[in-house]
Structure 1
Amino acid sequence: MDRRWLAGRELDPRADLRLFCLPYAGGGAAVYRGWPELAPRGMQVLPLELPGRGTRLREAPVWRLAPLIRSLADALCDAFDRPYALFGHSMGGLLAFELARTLRRRPVRQPAHVFLSAAAAPSTPPTPPLLHCGTDDEIRQRLAELGGTPPDLLDDVELMRLMLPVLRADFAVLETYEHRSEPPLSTPLTVLGGRSDRVVPPRALDGWRQHTSAGSRLCLFPGGHFFLHGPTAADVLATVARDLGGTAATGPGAATHRTATGLYLRHTTDRTR
């Protein structure tokens, strides 16, 4: 296992389940800081560090989705000796989905569940303008609109000098992505969204239901595009833990996965939060 992807963390061989977490554009493993402490006993939260950020700042970021997914699949294959799930927020949701599709073509243990947070269904076209070709000011303006970056950081010239190449690469991953039709996953999906998210509004999440034959569930939380931060993080992780509550160990190629409420049979919506 290439520990660079785990930001130096060690795999717990006794974990009942590993939760691999993929960040949003421009983010790194630090996006999920605090999640390991919030996780229930038996679940190991493993934030993934992509090239070009965090502990891998000296590496060149990847500009296309396909090579990034191949590298992820190659790097993580030794970590699938225990049951696991994938969680991705925004860009990370797309990465989690495509990683799951790649893994089903390999003779490895399949994910017990995939969690897609603030990520539009893959057939949704990118919204112009295409920022990976934009100016530095256009990218900063977009970050300000998204609301996930404090203004003082946007005004930090040195920080922006380090982050702009990563942001351009991540926007290129998103904006050059071409969805290719494949059979639905045999893994259940939980789709999470912010009720007031203007970047990926709740209506953009409905399309995920067609990408699984094992059922899906839509959960909406208070907040905008970055609802997973702050106090809501505990509720998000509680939802993850609930949906993984009955997950049993599965071997390579296993196609049936259980949750605390049994098999998902249809797309349901939870709007109670």
Structure 2
Amino acid sequence: MFSPSPKLNHWIKAITVRSNAGLRLFCFHYAGGNAFVFRNWANQVLDGVDVYAVELPGHGTRLAEPPCNRMECLIQDLKAALMPYLKPPFAFFGHSMGALISYELAQALRKEDLSPLHLFVSGYRAPHVPDDEPPIHTLPTADFLNALRCYNGTPEAILQNSELMELLLPTLRADFALLEAYQYRSRPLLDCPITAFGGAEDWKASAEEIKAWRSHTQSKFLFYRFPGDHFFVHSAQSSLLQVLNAALQDLVGV
């Protein structure tokens, strides 16, 4: 059980906090998302686990802030913001962009002799696997919106709302710039187990590309595939959380 946490800063949103918690699960959202995408996890994640969602600059309640478009700067700021809360034991879950961010943060924490007990990565190829798709963050607006449609994660009503998209486009472009400018660097393998999740109809991340995460840990690796496209994290949420909770059950007992 944890001692009282310091007051939450604007990087972290509490999804559920329990008095008997023995583990903190930090969740990292996808491109264009925000901490709110994990709101439905509140009553579905294993009892004994505190769930915190990370809110990146330019997203959600931080929409007025400039978004970050470079991984190195983001990880530096994110690490400083989360350090007061990263009291072992903790674990990371990230979907799509959030998977890559959570991996890079886990690597950065090595310098502090900290490691998540488990890294859960979802809907994203292993970091060393190159992206064969052309970059989209510099496309003209109409072409950029068409590219977003391919992900099937943004309702058409939002894409056609010009006033709303004017607010959201800088963040969306910055998110894709961050991903498209990412340069993988070879580093020591993570000590923690990695569990990777994929969508059976996800055109952006194939099963083999996701299975390649196994080469980034010297511990156990597991892979699960669910029905759905890139946003199976929502459409297959019940099945995903069933697997996640089984893994968390083992961690809570550590």
Q: TM-score, normalised by structure 1?
A: 0.86
Rounded to whole Å, the distance in 1 between the matches of 2:21 and 2:206 is: 35
Q: For 1:24-173, list aligned pairs within 5 A.
A: 24-108=30-114, 110-173=115-178
Is contact 1:89–1:117 with CA below 8 Å preserved after alignment? yes
Q: 2:11 aligns with which of 2, 5, 24?
A: 5
Q: Counterpart in 1 of 2:209? A: 204
Q: 1:226 aligns with which of 226, 231, 240?
A: 231
Q: Counterpart in 2 of 1:241? A: 245
Q: 2:28 aligns with which of 22, 27, 35?
A: 22
> Could you list the runs of 5+ residues in structure 2 that have no partner in the other structure?
1-5
C-alpha deviations, 1:15-55, integer Å up to 9, x for none? 21111110111111111121112112111111110000111
Aligned partner of residue 172 in structure 2, secondary structure: helix
With 130-139 and 46-55 compared, the bigger mean Cα shift is at: 130-139
Q: How far did residue 7 of structure 1 move? A: 3.3
Is contact 1:19–1:87 with CA below 8 Å preserved after alignment? yes
Q: Counterpart in 1 of 2:3? A: none
Is contact 2:192–2:219 with CA below 8 Å preserved after alignment? yes
Q: 1:78 to 1:11 in 2, by over 3 A?
A: farther
With 173-182 and 13-22 compared, the bigger mean Cα shift is at: 13-22
Q: How far did residue 70 of structure 1 move? A: 1.2
Q: 1:11 to 1:69 in 2, by over 3 A?
A: farther
Q: How far did residue 10 of structure 1 move? A: 8.5
Rounded to whole Å, the distance in 2 between the matches of 1:6 and 1:209 is: 29
Is contact 1:11–1:79 with CA below 8 Å preserved after alignment? no
Query: Paired residues, what number?
Result: 248
Matched to 1:3, the amino acid is N
C-alpha deviations, 1:219-266, integer Å up to 9, x for none? 000111100113x212212211111222258xxxxxxxx6xxxxxxxx
> Could you list the runs of 5+ residues in structure 1 that have no partner in the other structure?
250-257, 259-273
Rounded to whole Å, the distance in 2 between the matches of 1:92 and 1:34 is: 17
Q: What is the aligned-residue RMSD (CA, Å)?
A: 1.8
Q: TM-score, normalised by structure 2?
A: 0.92
Rounded to whole Å, the distance in 2 between the matches of 1:248 and 1:156 is: 44
